[in-house]
């Protein structure tokens, strides 16, 4: 960045995490939209297109920024990013510190300590806000409805994969107990023998090889090795097309901050069956844009999925309504506008 760009800088989006995660995905989606409205820069790994890349050398140069300039927003989404912002401010950098909280749990003392020292806090849901010990503004996540969109022909999109059957049911995200991947596997092992036209797809990073081995053992025992496919982590650009190949999406998390994959699947026109975790209660209009089930309940998941698998046309109609709801209430553009408005309140001291 040149000196002029540093002088104009209004927002820094730090991404101080070595592994790609849901937080990274959210940052990558929102940051370019912030950059359309403000002078913003990305610091760290996995920088998306559409926003200036800031180096750590640029960060050092920012220390000598003119004292009369507006203090840039340092927008943290992780504990280490809050710590970094506080330390930089302690050593003379002029930052306004903002944190986005997605957690739906009681925070540790260190997280509470850090949050208490932010100039403004955003919560991604009303439930997340309820766990904070200070005032927060609720801004729901949004998704890129141009990137996550229905295919011209969902049947052809799935057929092009060469996988067996006519339809797919998917569960995307980290492969681990917290995400309920085992619940999904148990449910599809019961359902797939009744519905030979369906294949189940699992996409996402694998955290625990022993957990994965248990899933594969259950799939093998059910004789469904060819019809329950575990793909593991895929390149970022390869994920959106997989949403276009599924007819039904199962969101099975036991505990979740928000659950962005719900919105991605809905935006792509998939019917949704979601565990009541994260923001599912807010996102889903029950019976219209999705079905809600208790977390960890295999039987309830089976009972919710079965009618949709039996009637693919009904699933397709639910997917159409789901996409419309995302466009109207959960787009990334709407989220970015609300965040920019919040920044202005931080600068005005009214956040």
What confidence tens digit (pLDDT) does each residue in 237-252 have? 899 999 999 999 999 9
Residue 173: inside a domain: yes
Residue 38: inside a domain: yes
Are residues 103 and 164 located together in one domain of the fold? no
> Which two three-digit tokens encode residue 82?
């809050």
Identify the domain containing residue 274 by its residue range.
Answer: 154-329
Residue 148: inside a domain: no
Q: d(Cα 234, Cα 333) in Å, to the nearest integer? A: 26
Are residues 236 and 338 located together in one domain of the fold? no
Are residues 218 and 343 located together in one domain of the fold? no
Look up the CATH number of the domain holding residue 64: 3.40.50.2000
Residue 274: inside a domain: yes
Q: d(Cα 210, Cα 217) in Å, to the nearest integer? A: 10
Are residues 125 and 171 located together in one domain of the fold? no
Are residues 125 and 165 located together in one domain of the fold? no
Spatial strand order of the sheet with 120-123 comes to 52-54, 40-44, 11-15, 73-76, 96-101, 120-123, 137-138
Residue 55: inside a domain: yes
Residue 160: inside a domain: yes
Are residues 9 and 135 located together in one domain of the fold? yes
Are residues 98 and 192 located together in one domain of the fold? no
pLDDT reported for residue 296: 97
Q: Which residues pair with 259 in a beta bridge?
A: none
**pLDDT of 195 strictly over 80:** yes
Residue 149: inside a domain: no
CA proximity to 178, closest of 252, 283, 263 = 252
**pLDDT of 121 strictly over 70:** yes
Are residues 305 and 337 located together in one domain of the fold? no
pLDDT reported for residue 69: 64
What are residue 177's phi and psi, to 5 degrees?
A: -65, -40
Are residues 181 and 315 located together in one domain of the fold? yes
Are residues 188 and 272 located together in one domain of the fold? yes
Task: List pLDDT tens digits, range 51-103.
Answer: 999 999 999 999 877 666 679 999 999 999 999 999 999 999 999 999 999 88
Are residues 88 and 172 located together in one domain of the fold? no
Are residues 320 and 190 located together in one domain of the fold? yes
> Which two three-digit tokens encode residue 320?
């159409």
For 194, counting Cβ atoms within 10 Å of its Cβ (0-12 exposed, 13-18 middle, 19+ buried), the class is exposed
Q: What is the mean pLDDT of residues 5-17?
A: 93
pTM attached to this predicted model? 0.81
**Average pLDDT of the residues of the chain:** 94
Please count the structural domains in the chain. 2
């Amino acid at each position: 960045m040149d000196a002029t760009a540093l002088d104009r800088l209004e927002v820094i989006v730090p991404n101080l995490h070595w592994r790609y995660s849901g937080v990274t995905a959210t940052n990558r989606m929102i940051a370019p939209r912030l950059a359309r409205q403000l002078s913003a820069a990305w610091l760290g790994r996995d920088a998306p297109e559409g926003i200036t890349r800031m180096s750590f050398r640029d960060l050092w140069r920012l220390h000598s920024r003119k004292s009369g300039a507006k203090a840039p927003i340092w927008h943290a989404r992780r504990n280490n990013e809050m710590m970094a912002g506080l330390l930089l401010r302690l050593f003379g950098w002029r930052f306004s510190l903002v944190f986005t909280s997605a957690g739906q749990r009681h925070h540790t003392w260190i997280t509470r300590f850090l949050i208490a020292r932010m100039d403004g806090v955003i919560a991604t849901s009303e439930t997340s806000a309820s766990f904070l010990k200070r005032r927060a503004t609720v801004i729901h996540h949004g998704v890129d409805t141009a990137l996550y969109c229905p295919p011209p022909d969902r049947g052809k999109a799935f057929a092009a994969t060469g996988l067996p059957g006519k339809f797919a049911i998917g569960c995307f995200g980290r492969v681990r107990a917290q995400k309920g991947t085992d619940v999904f596997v148990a449910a599809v092992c019961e359902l797939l023998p009744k519905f030979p036209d369906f294949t189940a797809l699992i996409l996402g990073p694998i955290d625990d090889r022993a957990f994965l081995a248990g899933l594969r053992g259950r799939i093998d025992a059910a004789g469904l090795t060819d019809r329950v496919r575990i793909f593991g982590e895929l390149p970022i650009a390869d994920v959106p097309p997989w949403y276009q190949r599924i007819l039904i999406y199962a969101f099975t998390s036991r505990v979740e901050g928000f659950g962005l994959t719900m919105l991605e699947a809905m935006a792509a026109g998939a019917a949704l069956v979601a565990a009541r975790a994260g923001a599912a209660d807010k996102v889903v209009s029950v019976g219209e844009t999705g079905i809600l089930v208790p977390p960890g309940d295999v039987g309830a998941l089976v009972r919710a999925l079965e009618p949709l698998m039996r009637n693919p046309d009904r699933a397709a109609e639910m997917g159409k309504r789901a996409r419309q709801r995302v466009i109207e209430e959960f787009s990334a553009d709407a989220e970015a506008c609300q965040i920019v408005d919040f920044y202005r309140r931080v600068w005005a001291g009214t956040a």
